[in-house]
Amino acid sequence: MNQILRIAFFALIVRPLMMIVLGTNVRRSELLPNSGPAIIVANHNSHLDVFALMNVLGLKRLPNVRPVAAADYFMTRRLRRWFATRIVGIIPIDRSKIRREDGKHPLDPISEVLQNNGIVLLFPEGTRGEPEKMDDFQSGVAHIARRHPEIPITPVFMHGLGKALPKGEALLVPFFCDMFVGRPLDSQLKKRELMNQLIASMDELAAELPIEAWS
Amino acid sequence: MSHLAWEIRVTLLSIFAMLAASNCILFFKMRYYPGVDDTLIRHRIRTWWALAGLFSLALSVSPQGGVVFFGFISFLALKEFLSMSPTRRADRRVLFYAYLSVIPQYYFASTDNYQMFLVFIPVITFAWLPTRMWMIGQSDGFQKAAGTLLWALMITVYSLSHTAYLLTTSMTQDTASRTLTLDVTQVAEQHAGPGLLIFLIIMAEANDIFQYVSGKPFGKKQVSPNIAPGKTYAGLIGGIMLTTCLAGFVGPLITPMDLAHSVFAGFMIASVGFAGELCICALKRDLKITNFGATLPGHGGVLDRVGNLIFSAPLFFHFIHYCYHQ
């Protein structure tokens, strides 16, 4: 990661974009973790999600913030790969490899970041999918929780950026982004219970939206 | 700065003085009545400082600076409106054109292009946006989507842009027949715009305050309990009366209007401003939201703040145009 370029990018490009063109409505930002190690899980609508979330976390926390992203998408083209790893600072995880390979568990890179007090962003839907529709959550977050039962998992419900820049569109249309932060989940739970708690928490946060119509 | 008459500079300075005074009152109130939570009012005053500061700064650069300021406000208000209202996924491109329309509308205001200013939204955009919508080919929800979008543009862009046009208004009619001995300076005659705009804004905001001070102690019967439970007849009438008085005092000082015109303008801004505010209240109730965002801490969104201008700005603009610009 190039920390100087990274801070410059977030301060000079992402922040004005989020402040002027898009705009964020954050509820309960005080529930966001102040320092690592921590895990934030959010639903995924748009490429902009990660920037909005990192912008809300702020420049002070930025050096520790690492989003988990699909290696099979972001590590393919050279420029995309450079931007994803150097500027955004992703932890690339290959979605197709689920087995242990050459003695390394596929989740090891995430554990490594968490051990270095990182704040890991996870989008358990695994894909942006159809904008503003929540897909089923992958259980990767539960596997991470089992490896690090002491680390808090904070759910964040995001809405609006799927309208601003949905999958497959290049034209950015200004819309507000709602970001509702929930109470940290109980990381000690078993896989199925943890996933149920995550789904319940997300549904509860989504219900805070006054009117949802994007047909 | 030569376009700002000394009356206007004094007015702006006294606005800042009043803000400073409210900060002082708040400070002493906190000293003697600690424990009362006044975060909201503190945020509100701080936001007023920011708004008044930015506005004065933009205006002191040139009248065009003020036009840009209000253009930006229009953009923010439109964004709030479209983010909170149901829209169709297929209409993304149409919404993009709606945002773009802010630029020509304010350009026509800044260049004093009266004809184009009047027709751009209600004639040209009115024809183009639904056309772009049928081109997409989705008929489901067409009526709702077209209605919402055009109503959004009328409120947030067309109405509000009249504030900006006030800035570039010049007075051509002879205003020598003024009835008061207090005369505005020549700068204020030649550059009447800033004075007229500040008059409109002071009246609209003062009306809010007067409604509060007369509604709080005397308010009983609600004007519309389902839409705005806090608005009472006492507040409405007190607001209109006090605003009308204030207008009679301020109007001849900072605008080329005479006493009668000022009083009428004050009455109109107060009553129509109230109507606009209740419209925004009804809209919010319908959308099941309490405010349009958090852009202005202590106030809510931009649309929550400019509700009292959506009807009063065009009406005041045309009143001035009718009386002084034929």
One digit per residue, the tens of pLDDT, for chain A of length 215 reads: 778 888 899 889 998 998 888 888 888 888 888 887 899 999 888 888 899 999 988 888 888 899 988 888 878 888 888 888 888 888 888 777 666 666 677 788 888 888 888 899 988 887 777 777 777 777 788 888 888 888 888 999 998 888 888 888 888 999 888 899 999 888 777 888 888 888 888 888 888 887 666 66
User: Number of folded domains in chain B?
Assistant: 2
Instruction: Answer for the pair B97, B128: CB distance below 8 angstroms, yes or no.
Output: yes
B259, amino acid identity: L
Q: Do B79 and A176 touch (CB under 8 A)?
A: yes
pLDDT given for residue B180 in this prediction: 41
A139-143, B52-56, B127-131, B173-177: the lowest-pLDDT one: B173-177
Instruction: Pick the residue of B74, B84, B89 with the most A CBs within 10 A to test the interface with A by mutation.
Output: B89
The whole-angstrom distance between residue B117's C-alpha and the CA centroid of its chain comes to 18
Closest CA to A125 of A41, A206, A8, A209: A41
Q: Tell me, yes or no, whether B147 and B223 share the same domain.
A: no
Instruction: Pick the residue of B72, B79, B156, B284 with the most A CBs within 10 A to test the interface with A by mutation.
Output: B79
Q: Categorize the per-residue pLDDT at B179 as very low, low, confident or very high, splitting at 50, 70 and 90.
A: very low
Q: Categorize the per-residue pLDDT at B178 as very low, low, confident or very high, splitting at 50, 70 and 90.
A: very low
The chain A residue lying nearest B296, using CA atoms, is A25
Q: Is residue A160 classed exposed, middle or buried when 0-12, 13-18 and 19+ CB atoms within 10 A define those classes?
A: buried
Closest CA to B46 of B28, B26, B32, B74: B26
Chain B closest-CA separation from residue A70 CA (Å): 26
The pLDDT of B211-233, averaged and rounded, is 87
d(CA B288, CA B271): 26
Q: Do B89 and A131 touch (CB under 8 A)?
A: yes
Q: For residue B267, is it within any domain?
A: yes
Q: Tell me, yes or no, whether B264 and B313 share the same domain.
A: yes
Q: Tell me, yes or no, whether B199 and B297 share the same domain.
A: yes
pLDDT given for residue B96 in this prediction: 93
pLDDT given for residue B181 in this prediction: 42
Domain boundary among B168, B192, B211: B168
More confidently predicted of A112 and B153: B153
pLDDT given for residue A166 in this prediction: 85
Got the DSSP string for B255-286?
A: SS--HHHHHHHHHHHHHHHHHHHHHHHHHHHH
Q: Tell me, yes or no, whether B183 and B162 share the same domain.
A: no
Q: Do A211 and B294 touch (CB under 8 A)?
A: no
As a residue count, chain B comes to 326
Q: Tell me, yes or no, whether B176 and B319 share the same domain.
A: yes
Q: For residue B244, is it within any domain?
A: yes
Domain boundary among B125, B151, B168: B168
d(CA B152, CA B150): 5
d(CA B84, CA A211): 8
B11-20, B149-158, B271-280, B290-299: the lowest-pLDDT one: B290-299
Instruction: Pick the residue of A27, A176, A179 with the most B CBs within 10 A to test the interface with B by mutation.
Output: A176
Structure tokens at A116: 């270095």
pLDDT given for residue A106 in this prediction: 77
Within 8 A of A215 by CB-CB distance, chain B residues are 86, 88-89, 140-141
The chain B residue lying nearest A169, using CA atoms, is B92
Within 8 A of B80 by CB-CB distance, chain A residues are 176
pLDDT given for residue A213 in this prediction: 62
More confidently predicted of B192 and A114: A114
Q: Tell me, yes or no, whether B159 and B177 share the same domain.
A: no
Q: For residue B68, is it within any domain?
A: yes
Q: CB-based contact (8 Å) between B80 and chain A?
A: yes
A159-173, B23-37, B100-114, B224-238: the lowest-pLDDT one: B23-37
Structure tokens at A108: 């090891």
Q: Tell me, yes or no, whether B90 and B211 share the same domain.
A: no
Q: What's the first-to-final CA gap in chain A, in angstroms?
A: 40
Buried b (16+ CB within 10 A) or exposed e, A103-130: eeebbebbbebbeeebbbbbbbbbebbe
Domain boundary among B168, B198, B214: B168
A175, A210, A215: residue with CB nearest B82:
A175
Residue B206 belongs to domain spanning? 172-326
Q: Categorize the per-residue pLDDT at B172 as very low, low, confident or very high, splitting at 50, 70 and 90.
A: low
Q: Tell me, yes or no, whether B283 and B205 share the same domain.
A: yes
Q: For residue B17, is it within any domain?
A: no
Taking only the tens place, the pLDDT of each residue in B54-99 is 999 988 888 888 899 999 999 999 999 998 888 888 888 999 999 9
Chain B closest-CA separation from residue A133 CA (Å): 12
Q: CB-based contact (8 Å) between B287 and chain A?
A: yes
Tell whether pTM > 0.90: no
A131, A176, A211: residue with CB nearest B288:
A211
pLDDT at B175 over 60: no
Could you give all domains of chain A from N- to C-terminal order, each with its CATH number?
A: 3-206 (3.40.1130.10)
Q: Do B89 and A213 touch (CB under 8 A)?
A: no
Mean of per-residue pLDDT scores for chain B? 87
pLDDT at B326 over 60: no
Q: For residue B3, is it within any domain?
A: no
Please report the ipTM that was assigned to this predicted complex.
Answer: 0.82
Q: For residue B35, is it within any domain?
A: no
Q: Tell me, yes or no, whether B294 and B164 share the same domain.
A: no
Q: Tell me, yes or no, whether B258 and B295 share the same domain.
A: yes
The chain B residue lying nearest A20, using CA atoms, is B76
The residues in A 175-194 lying below 8 A from B, measured between CB atoms, are: 175-176
Q: Do A174 and B79 touch (CB under 8 A)?
A: yes
| Largest interatomic CA distance in chain A | 50
pLDDT given for residue B154 in this prediction: 95
A89-98, B45-54, B117-126, B253-262: the lowest-pLDDT one: A89-98
Query: For tokens 């209240």, what's the residue?
Result: B281
Q: Categorize the per-residue pLDDT at B176 as very low, low, confident or very high, splitting at 50, 70 and 90.
A: very low
Q: Do A215 and B140 touch (CB under 8 A)?
A: yes
d(CA A137, CA B43): 39
Q: For residue B157, is it within any domain?
A: yes
Q: Please name every residue paired with A92 in a beta bridge, in sequence order, or none if there are none.
A: A69
For residue B58, what is the enclosing H or E element?
helix B39-61
Q: Tell me, yes or no, whether B292 and B210 share the same domain.
A: yes
Q: For residue B285, is it within any domain?
A: yes
Q: Tell me, yes or no, whether B96 and B201 share the same domain.
A: no
Q: Do B289 and A213 touch (CB under 8 A)?
A: no
Within 8 A of B294 by CB-CB distance, chain A residues are 25
Number of Cβ pairs < 8 A linking chain A and chain B: 55
